[in-house]
């Protein structure tokens, strides 16, 4: 009998799987500067920027209203 070794998925593979299966239900925030002011870009799981908000709480509230969940990418 031959033993088969499997490797754990790479970080890129995990990101690909996250994007594929969570695009419609999960999003994340990225801090940005908009005209010299702090703002937050709301991104879909695949990295697409959905909209900009000036307040992270407002972004979370809107996500909830859209039926989406905010996730941490740490």
**CA–CA distance, 37 with 17 (Å, rounded to integer):** 34
- Using a cut of 0.95, tell me whether the model's pTM lies above it: no
Q: Longest C-alpha distance within the chain, in Å? A: 64
Closest Cα partner for 66 from 42, 46, 41, 47?
A: 42
What residue spans define the domains of the chain? 27-74
Question: Are the C-beta atoms of residues 65 and 59 closer than 8 Å to each other?
Answer: no
**Confidence band (pLDDT; 50, 70, 90) for 74?**
low
Give the residue, 19 or 26, on which the prediction is more confident: 26
């Amino acid at each position: 009998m031959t033993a088969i070794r499997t490797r754990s998925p790479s970080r890129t593979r995990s990101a690909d799987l996250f994007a594929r299966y969570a695009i419609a239900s999960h999003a994340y925030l990225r801090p940005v500067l908009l005209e010299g002011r702090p703002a937050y870009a709301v991104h879909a799981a695949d990295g697409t920027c959905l909209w900009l908000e000036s307040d992270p709480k407002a972004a979370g509230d809107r996500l909830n209203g859209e039926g989406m969940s905010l996730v941490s990418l740490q």
